Chain A
Amino acid sequence: MIEARLKLAWPGFGLDVDLSLPGRGVTALFGQSGSGKTTCLRCIAGLERASEAFISINGEVWQDSRTGIFVPPHRRALGYVFQEASLFAHLSVLANLQFGLKRIAKDQRRVDLAQATELLGIGHLLERHPQHLSGGERQRVGIARALLTSPKLLLMDEPLAALDSQRKSEILPYLQRLHDELDIPVLYVSHAQDEVARLADHLVVLEAGKALASGPIGETLARLDLPLAMGDDAGVIIEGQVTSYDHAYQLLCLRLPDTLLDIRVTHAPMAVGQALRCKVQARDVSLTLHDSEHSSILNRLPVRVVSEMPADNAAHVLIRLDAGGTPLLARITRYSRDQLGVHPGQALWAQIKAVAVLA
């Protein structure tokens, strides 16, 4: 369990949050710039000192302003990945990696050099100097360097924000491996919904220094009352289990949690029983009154209307749906809503194009 109660007042900016976050998995701190997400992270790291604070990481208190405890950053067992990799320019990649590693007592090391370099695919870069690395490589070295301190908490401050989309997609798989293979809780700051959707298990939405919401990713992303729903990339996360794979058509069949509903997505082969996370964007979900097999749309799910909200575009509305317990969002025109007579409780069919599902 990660507890962070932070209060801080700067000219023109205040932070006032009380967060209780799961002690494992990836928690995303999501918000626009100026929402306080980076300040949160810096306070937790001790790089910034909140005037009133209580910070406890799985039982270990790092700061308690009431008792005057302030553990300086270099004594906090944390790893920090900055937005720009911030590698030491005077050291080789290997020496950068060893910088943190050699300052950790041998019996405290849980990640070794071979493991970290393998995990991030940087084994071939060790002799190089940071100036001769690409942005993506630099960031991977930065992540490995942080991991090598065997942190009890990994803090990542928009590690992909400084990279172009190609570099981003180069790093994302490594971050996913991190999530799957290491048991280190991660706080991940981002303003990009697609990153959050792919990586996070838990989501905190920040706005103007306050936490608007904190909850499991699936639930929180589907909430219509948060600014998340307004964006063009609004959507939900589905963590399904592979039930079959059609090699001829390269389609993966995914069972929605706690249901008998399957959706099909285009994907590389995966073994039956494996878990896969995919994102269904609200704008890719359409609604019909009746199931129609005469359609190119592969995924047709019986759903119930939960609620409705105006969208950022006056011609659109956002509809929250329930597919056997799994929330879905649909962005449709106001015209269609009136044509179908959409109202809470109504049974409808949601259609999702298989090619639109991001897996």
Chain B
Amino acid sequence: MSLTSADFAAIWLTLKLASLTTAILLVIGTPIALWLSRSRSWLRGPIGAIVALPLVLPPTVIGFYLLLAMGPNGFLGHFTQWLGLGTLTFSFTGLVIGSVLYSMPFVVQPLQNAFSAIGTRPLEVAATLRANPWDTFFSVILPLARPGFITAAILGFAHTVGEFGVVLMIGGNIPDKTRVVSVQIYDHVEAMDYSQAHWLAGAMLVFSFLVLLALYSGRKSRAGWS
């Protein structure tokens, strides 16, 4: 016996969710991380804390509040209903939103560290060499922060793959829509189908190990980047 088509559907959905979440997080996480690494505003502390909340909150708490917000009476729910989209609970889109919030610190923090490590000097140098701020971002910050982006992408992706509590709260267990690998494993175990759970759980274990292996061995060779 090996992986069933339902298992493959769950794997495919998980990869889709993780890729999309990572892509979105890199786009919105970059300005947030840039701001957190440069700003001297008093808001820096509160915003930094909000971004880091998913690190300490039980996923069920995030899931609970998201469920309320996206539900028919929540502010997000009102908004999506007004747009004629219905509610986002128990939908793939809802899962993406939840995952973005849930994995945010895993993307923002490595980026923020990378931007802080670059410091202000290269930016000043670029300005005195006639590069405007956008130009400086693409020609100096981005290449210098590349290892940070790689770390952020790997961590964001892997953390989303490992998501369970938030999915269960706002996504439920709908095949092809919200049933990701972690939920599928839970299903197998609930059904006392341990051998099937072994296959998926083993795949997850190997996957997670390989990701972290790539991350930690890559780090050494990138040590002298600054």
Chain A residues near B144 (CB-CB < 8 A): 88-90
Digit string of A251-293 for contact with B (CB within 8 Å is 1, else 0)? 0000000000000000000000000000000000000000000
* A292 CB, nearest partner CB in chain B, Å: 56
How distant is A141 from chain B, measured CB to nearest CB, in Å? Answer: 12
**A71-84 contact mask (Cβ, 8 Å, vs B): 1 or 0:** 01111001110101
Instruction: Please measure, in the bound complex, the distance between the C-alpha atom of A46 and the C-alpha atom of B124, giving whole angstroms.
Output: 10
* Residues of B with C-beta under 8 A to A79: 128
CB neighbours (8 Å) of B135 from chain A are: 103
B40 within 8 A of A: no
What's the minimum C-beta distance from A332 to chain B, rounded to whole angstroms?
A: 47
CB of B142 to closest CB in A, whole Å: 9
Tell which of B126, B128, B132, B225 touches A89, judged by Cβ atoms closer than 8 Å.
B225
Instruction: With A74-B132, A103-B130, A149-B129 as known contacts, state yes or no: A89 contacts B226, CB within 8 Å.
Output: yes
Q: Are A73 and B127 interface neighbours, CB within 8 A?
A: yes
Q: Does B150 contact A (CB under 8 A)?
A: no
**What is the minimal beta-carbon distance from B61 to any residue of chain A, in angstroms?**
41
Whether the Cβ atoms of A73 and B143 lie closer than 8 Å is no
Nearest-Cβ distance from residue A328 to partner chain B, whole angstroms: 40
* In the assembled complex, B140 has its CB within 8 A of some CB on chain A: yes
Residue in B129, B139, B225 whose Cβ sees the most chain A Cβ within 10 Å: B129
- The reply to whether B224 and A80 contact each other, CB–CB distance below 8 Å, is no
Does the CB pair B125–A80 fall under 8 Å? yes
- B131 interface residue (CB < 8 Å to A): yes
Within 8 A of A (CB), among B107-146: 121-122, 124-133, 135, 139-140, 143-144, 146
**B125 contact from A78, A82, A103, Cβ within 8 A:** A82
Q: Does A47 contact B (CB under 8 A)?
A: yes
Contact B124 A73 (CB under 8 A): yes
B122:A47 contact, CB within 8 angstroms: no
Q: In the docked arrangement, what's the CA distance between A99 and B133, Å?
A: 14
Q: Which residue of A lies closest to B130 (CB)?
A: A103
**A166-182: which residues lie under 8 A (CB-CB) from chain B?**
none
Chain B residues whose CB sits within 8 angstroms of the CB of A146 once the complex forms: 128-129
Collect the chain A residues with CB atoms within 8 Å of residue B140's CB. Answer: 88, 90
Q: In which size bucket is the chain A interface?
A: 20 to 34
Complex contact B129–A100 (CB within 8 A): yes
Q: Which chain B residues lie closer than 8 Å to A90 at the CB level?
A: 140, 143-144, 146
Main secondary structure of the interface of B (DSSP, over half): helix
| Distance between A18 CB and nearest chain B CB, rounded to angstroms | 24
A9–chain B nearest beta-carbon distance, Å: 17
| Closest Cβ–Cβ distance, residue A73 to chain B (whole Å) | 4
Which of B125, B130, B133, B224 is within 8 Å of A86, CB to CB?
B125
Query: Is A94 part of the contact surface with B, judged by Cβ < 8 Å?
Result: no
Q: A104 an interface residue at 8 Å Cβ cutoff?
A: yes
Residues of A within 8 A of B143 (CB): 90
B226 and A149 contacting across the interface, CB-CB below 8 Å:
no
Query: Nearest chain-B residue to A79 (Cβ)?
Result: B128
| CB neighbours of A145 from chain B (8 A) | 129
Is the pair B122, A74 in contact by a Cβ cutoff of 8 Å?
no
Chain B residues in 8 Å Cβ range of A80 = 124-125, 128
Q: What 0/1 readout, one digit per residue, does chain A (29-57) give for beta carbons within 8 Å of chain B?
A: 00000000000000001110000000000
Contact of A100 among B130, B132, B225, B226 (CB under 8 A): B130
Contacts of B128 in A (CB 8 A): 45, 47, 73-74, 78-80, 100, 146, 149
Whether A103 lies near B127 (C-beta < 8 A) is: no
Q: How far is the CA of A99 from the CA of B146 in the complex (A)?
A: 19
Bound complex: CA A45 to CA B127 (Å): 10
Cβ-closest chain B residue relative to A73: B127
Q: Is A131 an interface residue (CB 8 A)?
A: yes
Residues in B with CB closer than 8 Å to A46 are: 127
Q: Are A149 and B130 in contact (CB-based, < 8 A)?
A: yes
Q: Which residues of B approach A to under 8 Å, CB–CB?
A: 121-122, 124-133, 135, 139-140, 143-144, 146, 224-226
Q: List 6 A-B contacts (CB under 8 A).
A: A47-B124, A72-B132, A75-B130, A99-B131, A100-B129, A149-B130
13 extra interface residue pairs, beta carbon distance < 8 Å, beyond A74-B131, A74-B133, A100-B128: A47-B124, A73-B127, A74-B128, A75-B130, A80-B125, A80-B128, A84-B121, A88-B144, A90-B140, A90-B144, A100-B129, A103-B130, A146-B129
4 tightest Cβ-Cβ pairs between the two chains A and B: A100-B129, A80-B128, A103-B130, A73-B127
